Structures are given as structure tokens and as C-alpha cells.
Structure 1
């Protein structure tokens, strides 16, 4: 059975958590491969809302093992908050939960450094969540980070924590910020590490065993490909590889095993935080999309910027990640619009281009070239198969397929798990 990877094909917040939840019913393992608790996946089942930040979205399938892979940067304290929150809601995953022994850890000193640096940028801020993700990845690259395996050795854990926290304090104080209480922070981190230690194992071994046994393995990404540290709108990106390449390195599964890459995109486009956004709308239409779509971040509550679907950016995501199929979410948000637009090209310095400029200043200056389609102006949240969709909604999805170069296989017409269906086209 091939390994499947689910990625965001835009700037994140595409509804990946919901789709993972839908697919997890057939999955033996769901593994998160990058990012940290700067991402939020919202799952709604039977009208009940669950917001996950680190734990993979396979929590509702009792057959599914949830894995935090080595490519993630994991905050032990915040993971326990999430874990205990699920217990309070009657969900216990303790017998089907694994943490990579190679996962890098996020602590309070990372968050303090993140907040200090973001604050110093003033109007030029990146728009991070201040959850310490970038500084933790920096420690990883600088080869000074703590990892999951260190939670199994209390003395080593304490020594490395003190060393790193004291080094962070020097940076904080030098920049006018308050120093952290090293021993108080260590006490909290140590308690969290002790509770999580039983879940630590070499997950690359267990995941590859699952592959050999022909079990259904689903790899879950966070954010979206346009926030990828290499291919995204740098420097307004996250600190990890959000695409399919990050999946291989982030869990330790070879590329040859991946045969299905599911790209999730909204029927329109949103973006949280700073950075270029070619199709962003600053008029009533943009406000209507934001309001109807309840576009506020699951992790931060920040309002998301909204605009029309960008087929230029999405086709690049399809190309660079080998996306084999698309899932389109929030189709219902467009139900009331008389006309719907898709960006099919950009104009830059008087020339029409169909590629995404790498230079951030060029990308900020492009003007979208739109194709206008007729809206369907009727509800879609009752639809449960392709033939239920209004004709103009079908035409819209077919045009998206043509423009971005991948077939639509799943459509979501509402926030609940039941408001999702697989597409069957002739």
C-alpha cells in the first residue's frame, strides 16, 4: 500500500486537519513531519470542535497510531496541554501515540528569543506566531538543540537545558529584554519530559515497518507550500520544508514509497501574517469572503487576508511537489457570489508572466490577470456527490483542474466531517 502525503497547496489554513480526519478512517498511521505548535488543525465531528497544534489529526480513528516525526520541533509543555485537553474531551490516545527520539524540542527560551526578534522588526515583521519555532530550528542547524532522546536522560537533559537557557538569557538581556528564571523553566520542562518519555521511540523504524507490512501510512504537513523555507515567499515563510520533500526527511521514509500526494486548497486563497499576496482583495468582496469563511487563525486568532484563487501559485505547488490529486475546501463560502475570479497569470513591468518570481519585491509588484466565471448562487452544503453540485460549481472545479494540472478528488462544502465527499466524474 503506497504512502500518502497531505500538504497545503497555498499559504496554509487550507483545511488540512479536516481532510486528515476524513482520510484517517482508512489509515493505520498518521505522522506529522514538520513545523511545530505554530500551526493549528481544526477538526469538527458531530458539531464538536477540536483544535490540534502538534498531535496529528488522526485522533478520532481508534485504529490509527499518531506519530510526531523527527522533522517537527515539539514544545513538550504545550504538547501536554494538548494531550490533557483531549483527555478532558474523552479522547485517550496514550496507547497509540509515538514521539520520534530525533524530534527537536522547543522551550520557553526559544519563545522569548522569537518574541524579542519579531518585536525588534517593527513594521517589517515576518508575522511569526512567537511560538519559538524559528529559534528551535536554528538550534537544530547550529547543532545545540535538545531532542526527544534527551528526555530519556534527565541529567543530560538538565545540563543541556541550563546551557541553552543561559545562552539565550545573554541575548535577551543584551537586547533589553528580561532574563528567564533558568531553574523555574527547567523544573517545568523536566516535568513535561518525564511524562512524555514513555512515548519516545525511533519512529523511522516503526514507520518503515508499517510500510513493509503494507499498512496505510498518511503523512501530515503543516502550513502550506508557499511558506516553505526554500520554495516559499522568502523571507515571509516558516522555518521548515512544508512540501513533500520535507515529508521524506521529516519522518525517515524513502521517496520511492510515496505514490500519492494530496494537495489541499481552498476554493479561494487566504494568508495569515506578512508577505506578498498577489490576489488579496481589499474591497467588500474580500471582507465578505473573510466573514463568510470565518477566516481567523486556529492558533493565534489572527484574521486571515482573503482573495481569489491563484492558479499561478497553485500550479507551481503542483509542479514542485508532484501533487497527484487535489482536495478543494470551503466551496460553500463562494455560494452567494454572482461572479468568481481565478488568477491565471501576472503582469510585471508590462509583461505577462505565468511563473512566481523568486524576488520578493517583484512578487509584491505583480498584478493578477483574472479569468471570470459565473457563480452558482445556491447552497452547496447539502451536496454529497459530484452530481449534487450546481453546474457552475462543477465548471469552476473543472477549470481549476485545467489551470493547475491536477484532478480534484475530494470536495468540502462545510466545516463538519460529514460535509465532505469524494468526486466521481465521467
Structure 2
């Protein structure tokens, strides 16, 4: 049995969706699964400078032969789910939803938008938190109650374990480790635990099938809303704009209609990173947004092409954590990846055509 779990380090927005999709491509995964959270994350990638995103599905949908599954630990927004399925021309043969998934309703979303506490913590207002609360109270509808979802229903734990026996599968996490309700800085947390054990449990995967736990770590960690960034200095918005490394939140301010600039740390807090590794049982790290740390590494796809500055950062991380950095993300495009395994398969023309077909 062989399964990889890709988890977000720190506070999310570190490109774990792209890392997960790349790992699925690298290992010729038979399936990519989500097992926690709901329609709150935004997992996206750039294709020929066009941004393609999903909120409900994992990014592994880009691979034609790869099954997609939403485990019973995932809250499902039927509106977003059906939109994404239609938008990317997916079929029930490819996408499966466990009948026990809690359902996010329009009322859940409205209640979050009206909640001052949710505004204070930088919520995405996806309705996931209230849907999960209703599930805990046993009053939430579940996927088997929704007529439009009937063609997609399946026993996702059985599917995931069956595929893991045949070949590789990937589990795609959500948010970031320090947004976990168990391990984050309460109340600045999400509604569920988002560490690797919970992702596996939310899919229903036999934990003995897990081979690698890969934590995606941003070279310059960012955070939405309030809460600490660790024992490190923080960029001002003016500094980020001057350096050209500002990132705009996917969350729209309901009062101004504007996207805020994400807060950004000037370095990685080693003590926090070691805790992330401990909580997730990580044995590999993926360093993402390296081009913001050193613009000279932009677009590099060979490990031998990494700059000295990035190599020094990798060495410092590995010395501090005793965990290997196995992959470096060097740009916005899907294939801007450098791996220690320089014999990785090239992105085929067929996959490139498929990716371009998703551009609106």
C-alpha cells in the first residue's frame, strides 16, 4: 500500500494544492482525496499565466486517469461542487463523494458572514465552520440527502484503500497546521484539525498505507487575518510592494469589496517548523514560493540550477529539522518545480493540452 499526504505548513496559502497535484503526477497516482475542511480553501495554479482554482475539489483533477474523492470528513457545498464539476468537464466516473459528508447550506454561509467573530479571524465565510458545528450537533444534512449529488456518491474509504493497494494515491490537506483547531492559536483557527492524521482519518485511509507525509513550507510564510507569525520580523505592506512580493488575499472584505494584502514573515521560525513536523509526522518538506525569497530562482526546474541563496536556506532548514527538503517550487506555473529526483517525468504535451483546456 502506498499513500502520500500533503499538508500545509504554518498558516496556509503555501501552494499545497500544486505540490499535491505534482506529487500525484510524479507518482502516477490512481486517486487524490480530500479528508477535512470544506469549501474554504482556494487551491489554484497558473496555466500560461491564467489562474485556475478550485475550492471544493483537490487539484489532482487535472490528471485524466486520476480518481478524485471527498472523504466523509470533508464538508461539501453542493453549489461549488457542481460548478467545479461542470467547469472542468468532470464525470461521476471520475469524482466520488462519500454519502456521509456534511453539507454546507446557503444559511450556513449567511450566518458566518453575519458573525463578528468570523470576521475578526479572517474567515473565508465558506459556511464550513457552521456546517461542521451542525454536524457535531447531528442536525446537518449529509451528502446522501442531496438529490443532485446522488450520481457521485460512493464509499470513499473503501475506494481509497482499494486504490492504495493497487498503486499510489495522494491525500491533499487544507489550510495550514497552525490553523488547526487543536494546534493553532485559538480562536484564530479553522473549525477542524488539519494535520496528517486527521486528513487520513477524514478519508478513511488505513494509516498503515501512508508512505510519505510532505509538508509544504513557504519560504516567506504568510497569514490571513489576525494572530502571530512566530518569533520573526514581519514585512510592512510598503516593503512587500517595493520588493514586488505582495500577495493579495482570496478573501474579499465584505464592507469594502477589496482584497487585502496577506501578512508576510521575513523568515521561517525554526522552532515552529519543528513543531509542525512533529505534529504531522513529516518525513519530507516542499519549499514553496522560493522565487519570492530569491527572484533569481524564478522558473528553475533542475535541482542543479538552484541558486546559492536558496541552497543555503534549504541547508538551514534541513539542519534545523533533520528532515529533507525534497522539492522546491520556483514559480507560478505548474511545472516550475525542482526536485532532488532530477529524473522526473516531463510534463507531456497531452497534459499541457489538458491543462490549457481548463482556461476560460
Q: TM-score range by the shorter chain?
A: 0.7 to 0.9
Which of 140, 149, 160 does residue 207 from structure 1 map onto?
160
Post-superposition shift, 1:72?
0.9
Q: Do structure 1's residue 132 and structure 2's residue 127 form an aligned pair? A: yes
Q: Do structure 1's residue 332 and structure 2's residue 291 form an aligned pair? A: yes
Name the counterpart of 2:99. 101
Q: Quick one: higher RCO (CA 8 Å, sep 6+), 1 or 2? A: 2
Which of 214, 220, 234 does residue 186 from structure 2 map onto?
234
Provide closer, same or farther for how the CA distance between residues 233 and 385 of structure 1 changes in structure 2, counting only shifts above 3 A. Answer: same
Unaligned runs of 5+ in 1: 152-193, 337-378
CA distance in 2 between partners of 1:424 and 1:24 (Å): 15
Q: What is the 5 A alignment of 1:359-374? A: none
Once the two structures are superposed, residues 41-83 of structure 1 have per-residue CA deviations (whole angstroms, 9 ceiling, x without a partner) of 0122343321110111112111100111111111111222222
Post-superposition shift, 1:309?
1.6
Contact in 2 for aligned 1:10/1:224 (Cα 8 Å): yes
CA distance in 2 between partners of 1:317 and 1:302 (Å): 26
Which of 39, 44, 47 does residue 46 from structure 2 map onto?
44
Contact in 2 for aligned 1:73/1:136 (Cα 8 Å): yes
Post-superposition shift, 1:126?
2.0
Name the counterpart of 2:276. 317
Post-superposition shift, 1:310?
1.8
Once the two structures are superposed, residues 235-275 of structure 1 have per-residue CA deviations (whole angstroms, 9 ceiling, x without a partner) of 10001111112112201112221121000011111001122
Q: Do structure 1's residue 392 and structure 2's residue 309 form an aligned pair? A: yes
Once the two structures are superposed, residues 355-375 of structure 1 have per-residue CA deviations (whole angstroms, 9 ceiling, x without a partner) of xxxxxxxxxxxxxxxxxxxxx
CA distance in 2 between partners of 1:284 and 1:135 (Å): 32
CA distance in 1 between partners of 2:262 and 2:139 (Å): 35
Q: What is the 5 A alignment of 1:19-418? A: 19-25=19-25, 26-87=28-89, 92-117=90-115, 119=116, 121=117, 125-151=120-146, 194-212=147-165, 214-278=166-230, 279=232, 281-283=234-236, 286-288=239-241, 292-298=244-250, 300=252, 301-307=259-265, 308-335=267-294, 379-418=296-335
Contact in 1 for aligned 2:6/2:213 (Cα 8 Å): yes
Post-superposition shift, 1:292?
2.9
Provide closer, same or farther for how the CA distance between residues 225 and 407 of structure 1 changes in structure 2, counting only shifts above 3 A. Answer: same
Contact in 1 for aligned 2:6/2:214 (Cα 8 Å): yes
Name the counterpart of 2:356. none
CA distance in 1 between partners of 2:198 and 2:38 (Å): 13
Provide closer, same or farther for how the CA distance between residues 386 and 64 of structure 1 changes in structure 2, counting only shifts above 3 A. Answer: same
Provide closer, same or farther for how the CA distance between residues 404 and 206 of structure 1 changes in structure 2, counting only shifts above 3 A. Answer: same
Post-superposition shift, 1:109?
1.2
Using structure 2 for the length normalisation, give the TM-score: 0.86
CA distance in 2 between partners of 1:240 and 1:229 (Å): 5
Unaligned runs of 5+ in 2: 253-258, 343-360
Contact in 1 for aligned 2:143/2:149 (Cα 8 Å): no
- Pairwise CA RMSD: 2.1
Contact in 1 for aligned 2:171/2:200 (Cα 8 Å): no
CA distance in 2 between partners of 1:128 and 1:283 (Å): 22
CA distance in 1 between partners of 2:92 and 2:260 (Å): 32
Contact in 2 for aligned 1:34/1:221 (Cα 8 Å): yes
Contact in 1 for aligned 2:100/2:144 (Cα 8 Å): yes
Post-superposition shift, 1:299?
5.3
SS of 1:201's equivalent in the other structure is coil
CA distance in 2 between partners of 1:207 and 1:285 (Å): 46
CA distance in 1 between partners of 2:325 and 2:264 (Å): 22
CA distance in 2 between partners of 1:391 and 1:424 (Å): 19
CA distance in 2 between partners of 1:94 and 1:302 (Å): 37
CA distance in 1 between partners of 2:142 and 2:237 (Å): 48
Contact in 2 for aligned 1:280/1:305 (Cα 8 Å): no
Provide closer, same or farther for how the CA distance between residues 409 and 309 of structure 1 changes in structure 2, counting only shifts above 3 A. Answer: same
Once the two structures are superposed, residues 175-228 of structure 1 have per-residue CA deviations (whole angstroms, 9 ceiling, x without a partner) of xxxxxxxxxxxxxxxxxxx3321001111111121123x321100011010001
SS of 1:38's equivalent in the other structure is coil
Provide closer, same or farther for how the CA distance between residues 54 and 269 of structure 1 changes in structure 2, counting only shifts above 3 A. Answer: same
Once the two structures are superposed, residues 71-124 of structure 1 have per-residue CA deviations (whole angstroms, 9 ceiling, x without a partner) of 11111112222223324xxxx34431000111100001111221222x3x49x8
SS of 2:61's equivalent in the other structure is coil
